Chains A and B, each alone.
Chain A
Amino acid sequence: MRALDNPFRSDRQLGLRYRLTEAEWRSLLVRLGALGRRAALVGPQGSGKTTLLRDLGARLEISGFAVTRIQLNEANPGIPQRVWLELAWGPRAFVLLDGAERLGRLGWLAFSIATRRANGVVITTHEPRRLPTLAECSTSPELLADLVEELLCSRPDWLDATCRDLFAKHNGNMRDALRELYDRFASTRGYPRMHTNHHEYSEIS
């Protein structure tokens, strides 16, 4: 299968939203205010912290906040110099830091000082520390099945059993499970013609 036709390609995964109802969003934002707008999204790898942080950022922007996004990962393990300058001297913003566990003790101290004047700070981290927990992200085989259904735009027979297996194999890491599905689909051939909102798949197992 061409990468372009793969329903699990990365841009489609990035289009998935965190599953919260409007009432849950309101509750989350109220809790964020109650925590003094300094809080953490906590959960293991692939549990949706980054997705929730991204969606939270969009909500904050709609509410009129300027948002500064910082993403730390293997490729970008440290906060760039220009971002430090922006935090210290730029307009006051809501700072969203994804991957806070990558900051060492000194890095975290510097970040805490640099964001004192920020309108708010939300971080993602694997362990509940550094900031009070705003939300704990967790996953389930049923959630994986729902996400796969959304990407496939259908609910094939194999979906539930496959998602249970993948969930167990990847210890609940949704990202890794979806990547494996990408690889499985990439190895298949001869799928029916694909349309934006209607796919039919039958060869996966």
Chain B
Amino acid sequence: MTDYSHISNAELSPDADQTTQLYKRLRDNPIAMTEGAAGAPQWIGEAFADDALTLQYLDPSVSDPMLLGAAALFDTAAGNVTVKNTFNVLSVTQVNAFDYEIVFLSALTSAIYPCSLLADSIDDGGQESGVLMCPTTRTTGQLDYKQFLRAFDLSGARHAYPTNVSVIIQRGIA
């Protein structure tokens, strides 16, 4: 750590002795500022150019859980997926009826990530209902999930093909 030493105006006046000690502090103080030395002025946000901080400079232990790692918006139908928008998603595939696979373009930093799924409501025989989407497999490279109609009856769970399925995954990208 380099010491920070304040330089007074008197030391910079034309009549002052230009000692090498002064030059040593002129040399060291900017270095001490980069190190956050005691007493050194700290950098504030306005010192940075707009957009200057790319994600690689953020502490991943803090930023990764907050960042969008992958997202997709798509319609589902029997045997068919229509993708409307994606972020870091290579493909959305219906692997079996009501059974979907989302493959990421770049792997995520962890397979333990929060994910949420939301879709349009469903007309269930004249009653408004919704769709429950349950993740079945989560890896750093893909998410698998199933679609259930939320309006259960006593005969057991049923399924549905909703539109505007949103998948949001919060995690950093490796």
Chain B binds chain A:
no
B residues apposed to A, CB below 8 Å: none
Interface residues of A (CB under 8 A from B): none
